[in-house]
Amino acid sequence: MTVSIAYLGPPGTYSEAAAIAYVDQLQQDTGEECLLCPYPSISQTLRAVARSQAQRAVVPVENSLEGSVPMTLDAIWQLDNLQIQRALVLPISHALISPVPELSAIKTVYSHPQALAQCQGWLEQFLPWVQLIPTNSTTEAVQQLEGDRFAAAISSQRAAELYDLPIIAFPINDRPDNCTRFWVVSLQPSPGGAYTSLGFSVPSNLPGALSQPLQVFASRGINLSRIESRPTKRSLGEYLFFLDLECDSRKSSVESAFQELRSHTETLKIFGSYDFVAIKSD
């Protein structure tokens, strides 16, 4: 049986690199054959799994420099039944790719908003005059170079190889320890692990509306490794809260915490328990 794995494409993105690393691990563990399926956006990548068009998806969720990826959080909240199977941590090294031989001739730089932000300091130092244009992915940025003879793209070394374009600066990310966390998601129940991710909304914006849910974990000694808010998109001032916990949801103490948490929340979604896998850079 072939396992179809959706990712943010086109080929050459960092999501593809994470998906390839996941496939390598999967084949070592199970021997399963895999088919990589690129999609043009994170939302469409996750919807492919929700609609059973693909069996699993690999999507970015957090960068060490720029924080969370809002589109991933929004989509996993909106789509029911998606469960996290594993977290992958991928080192990220950006390259400036362009057929233009000199930096002084570059007028435009294309890339994904996260990549532009991760290279902001370098761009301000070496290309302060250029126009920055966001794209859906770092590989889509490379594709833009075909019609713009004074442009450059921030993307991966693999994308430069795939499109046979020169790298004129590498690495250009502002910090050498830049890395991105990806989630592997599917419709299968989560396998369990050292970390659990969830999201919830609160019944009303009143004093204690957030502290009460958080106290559920504090009283049981469950540590939170991440918490952040996203707008509900219903009205101004209403928020969803996303949490990462250092615990396994299969433990009885955690199950009882979730039962109590439901009494303090309007909607609670448990996205699953999983383990982290660090991907070595080439």
Residue of 154 and 30 predicted with greater confidence: 154
Q: Which residues pair with 3 in a beta bridge?
A: 34
Quick check: helix, strand or coil at residue 24?
helix
Segment (H or E) for 63: strand 56-63
Judged against a pLDDT cut of 90, whether residue 157 lies above it is answered with: yes
The CATH-assigned architecture of domain 3-91+180-278 is 2-Layer Sandwich (3.30)
Burial of 130 (0-12, 13-18, 19+ CB in 10 A): middle
pLDDT in tens, 95-150: 999 999 899 999 999 999 999 999 999 999 999 999 999 998 999 999 999 888 89
CATH (one of 1.20.1260.10, 3.40.50.720, 3.40.190.10, 3.10.105.10) for 94-169:
3.40.190.10
- Angle value at C-alpha 184, between 248 and 138, nearest 5 degrees: 140
Tokens encoding 227: 């918490």
Judged against a pLDDT cut of 70, whether residue 282 lies above it is answered with: no
Mean pLDDT (whole number) for 156-182: 94
DSSP code of 106? -
The whole-angstrom separation of Cα 41 and Cα 59 is 10
Judged against a pLDDT cut of 70, whether residue 281 lies above it is answered with: no
Parallel, antiparallel, or unpaired for β 67-68 and 83-91? unpaired
Q: Output phi, psi for 234, to 5 deg.
A: -95, -45
- Same CATH topology for 3-91+180-278 and 94-169: the answer is no
Q: Alpha-carbon dihedral of residues 208, 260, 84, 227, nearest 10 degrees?
A: 20
Helices and strands in the chain, H and E counts: 9, 16
What is the percent of the chain where pLDDT is above 90? 79
Domains of the chain by residue range: 3-91+180-278, 94-169
pLDDT in tens, 7-64: 998 999 999 999 999 999 888 888 888 999 999 999 999 999 999 999 999 999 999 9
In b/e form, how buried is each residue of 75-107, taking b as 16+ CB within 10 angstroms? bbbebeebbbbbbbebbbbbbbbbebeeeeebe
How much is the pLDDT for 101? 85
The length of the chain, given as a count of residues: 282
How much is the pLDDT for 279? 86
pLDDT in tens, 232-278: 888 887 889 999 999 999 888 899 999 999 999 999 999 999 999 98
Quick check: helix, strand or coil at residue 269?
strand
Segment (H or E) for 71: helix 70-78
Quick check: helix, strand or coil at residue 253?
helix
The whole-angstrom separation of Cα 153 and Cα 147 is 12
Q: Alpha-carbon dihedral of residues 96, 101, 105, 108, nearest 10 degrees?
A: -30
pLDDT in tens, 89-106: 999 999 999 999 899 999
The whole-angstrom separation of Cα 255 and Cα 277 is 25
Q: Alpha-carbon dihedral of residues 177, 281, 276, 61, nearest 10 degrees?
A: 60
How much is the pLDDT for 170? 96
How much is the pLDDT for 232? 86
